[in-house]
Each structure stands twice: as C-alpha cells, then as structure tokens.
Chains A and B, each alone.
Chain A
Amino acid sequence: MSRDDGAEPWHETVIRVLKENEVDLVTYIPDNVLRELIDALHADPYFTVICPAREEEAVAIVAGAYMAGRRGIVLMQTSGFATLPNALASLVVPFQIPVVMMISERGILGEFQIGQAIVCKTMRPVLQSIGIEHHTIEEHDHVPFVVDSMIRQAFATRSPAAIILSPLLTKRPRAGAAQ
C-alpha cells in the first residue's frame, strides 16, 4: 500500500493515509511546519477544511462530526495543544470520542524561544495523565505505518490519539530528497 522509496514528502503520505482511512474533515490552527500539508489539504476537494479561532473549537467540531458519522483530524502546533486539556478531559476522553490530533512539535532541537520550549514540556505529561495514546514520528519511513495505525486504532477503540511530528521528521534535511 505504501510507496516507501523515500521520494514522497511526509505531507503527501499523510494525505494519502487520510484518504485510505476516509478521514475527510480537517480542522486546524496554523503552524509553519504544517504549511505544506495545510496548503495541499485546501487544494484537494476531497477534504472539508476548517480553520476556526481556537484549537478547542477545532477539537469540538471534529468531535461533533464524528458523532454525526464523519471522520476528522485536528492539526495544531505544540502551543495549541497546551490550550486543550479542559476540552480533552471533559469532552473527548469521558465521552470516548476518537478525535485524532496531529501535532507539530515545537520547542526542541533548535528552539530559539524559551516560552515555546517550556510549553513543549507540558505536552506529554498532559497526554499521559489523561491517558491519550500518543506516538512521536521521527523517521520519514515510519510516517505511513504510524499515521495509518494510529488512525485505525483510534476509530476501532473509540479513543483519541495524538500523532506528534518531531523536528527530526519535519526539519532534518533528507539525503536524496527534494525538501
């Protein structure tokens, strides 16, 4: 199913895997690392793409859509995730709603802003404490398997999931690939 010759940029792989899993609603608050993914999603008529005012709204829209029979994903930056504990702990987790989040990790490996670095340190403890399945992707060739299996597990088990995109995936120059 996957084309693991290393030529496909990670954001194209994500789009392919979303389609394979019939995830056709995307909500996001922008992040520079996600720019190419967001642009490609907007350009693709398969997806309904909504950019609301806050990440909590982005989560709630996807939660409502799931209950009405449509699959979605929420894209955000680490700092956006930091606004979410209340919505996750009072809506998504207790109601057992499979909200899949894709979080671009900012605050490590070359961060220049101390605030971002500190915010980043809150992310995994929050995920851990409310029991949300999460996995960090560092390797380009892990993208299809991790994204696909996290999405499938989330919907099969009615559980939220966080797919974290490390700078090792999104910022590290790749040998032999057009970045």
Chain B
Amino acid sequence: MTTISNTERGAAKVMNRTDLTQRLVARLHKDEAVVGGIGHTNWDLWASGQRPQNFYMLGSMGLAAPIALGVAVAQPDRMVFALEGDGSLLMQVGALATIATVEPANLCVIVWDNEAFHITGGQKSLTATGADIVAMARGAGLTNSTWAADEAHFESLVDEALGGTTGPRLIAARIDMTKPAGTTDRDPVKIRLNFMSGIAPPDKEG
C-alpha cells in the first residue's frame, strides 16, 4: 500500500462520482455522518440512498468540510465524512489548515476533482491548470492526504478512514464529467431535522 498511496495526481485514474459515492456509502456501517457539498456532490449522495446521517447543502460553496468539522468536534466518537467538489474546496482552502490544527481523528474530507465548475456550465477550475489538492492539503498540515489511484484504492482508503484513529485525512479522486444520478429534494428544514435525528447523541433528543 505504501507505494500506491503516494500516487501522483497524473497517475490517478479518472473515475466516476456516482460510482465512488455508492462505494463509499456501501462501506458505512456505524451511522457515520456524511456532509455533501453544493450541487452535484450532494446530488450523488442523495441518489446513493437517503441515509438520515446525510446532510445536503443548498449553497454555501466550500463549507462542507467546516460543517463536518463542527459535527466531528461535537461527536468525537462518530466518523464524519465531508464530500466536496474541487471548485468548492478551493474557495475555502484555508479550512484545510483549520482541520489540520484542530486535528479531529474522526474526520475525512473527500474531494471530487473534475477540473471544472461542472454544474455552472463546465468552466475550467484551477485544478485544470495544475493546482494539486493533495499537495495543498499536505502543505496545510493534513499529512494524511492521498490521491485515489483507482476504485479499489479508493475503497481501501475509505476503509482506513473508517478504522482509523490517526487523525484527520483527505482523499482526492479524479472524476469525469458525467452528470449525477439524481437531484436532492431542496427542503432545508427537513434536511436538517432528518440529519439531527440521524446523528442524535443517545442521551439527547434531536
């Protein structure tokens, strides 16, 4: 695993977000929380099955990881995933340093890099011209940051995160420009209430 987990961005396979989201969700088994970033990212999370432990964002570009950080700090015993597009992550890139500083062992940020702002018309994003999210994350202090080489490697990285107590991590996956498999039902209060009851601490009511 050591060599493969040092995959360069250029060597990483271009995969599919719908497929990878389903692979992630299939491996969840302990009511892990998942925060889906704006647009396509949370649409594919929605399409992968509406787990009550999922939170779907309806705007607020780049805030999936900070929201997930708040959940992780409040519930250190629950594993928390943040899913974010490359354009969104770059808009709040300082959040990587915040996560590295707070160092929650139970937080994993997953970044879908399609080199584009897909939902707004497919305009090129900054990763198309060389910005390497894993290198930036490592530079921010998130040393456990890795490009997923292929689907099997992605799954093994998710498994490591699920079993892990070694601090926050970031998984970046290169993805293609396929449209997501569904569209989130945009009812913010319902989304919040479902999420709150899905992750309610045992001693508290949602």
Give the B-binding residues of A (Cβ under 8 A). 25, 48, 50, 52-54, 56-57, 60-70, 72, 86-87, 89-91, 94-97
Tell me the bound Cα distance from A90 to B70 in angstroms. 17
**B191 adjacent to chain A (CB < 8 Å):** yes
Tell me the bound Cα distance from A53 to B73 in angstroms. 17
Contact A69 B75 (CB under 8 A): yes
Tell me the bound Cα distance from A87 to B91 in angstroms. 13
Tell me the bound Cα distance from A69 to B204 in angstroms. 8
Closest CB of chain B to A159's CB: distance in Å? 12
Report chain A residues within 8 Å CB of B61.
86
Give the A-binding residues of B (Cβ under 8 A). 33, 35, 55, 57-63, 66-75, 78, 92, 94-95, 97-98, 102, 188-189, 191-192, 195-196, 199-201, 204
Contact A54 B60 (CB under 8 A): no
Residue of A at shortest CB range from B186?
A94
Closest CB of chain A to B137's CB: distance in Å? 14
Tell me the bound Cα distance from A57 to B99 in angstroms. 11
Contact B70 A63 (CB under 8 A): yes
Q: Other than the known A61-B98, A63-B67, what 14 A-B pairs have Cβ atoms closer than 8 Å?
A: A50-B73, A54-B95, A56-B63, A56-B66, A57-B94, A64-B74, A65-B73, A65-B74, A70-B70, A70-B73, A90-B59, A95-B188, A96-B188, A96-B189
- Contact A95/B70 with A54-B94, A60-B60 known, Cβ cut-off 8 Å: no
Closest CB of chain A to B109's CB: distance in Å? 13
Contact A68 B69 (CB under 8 A): no
Contact B71 A54 (CB under 8 A): no
Q: Which of A48, A61, A65, A87 contacts B60 (CB 8 A)?
A: A87
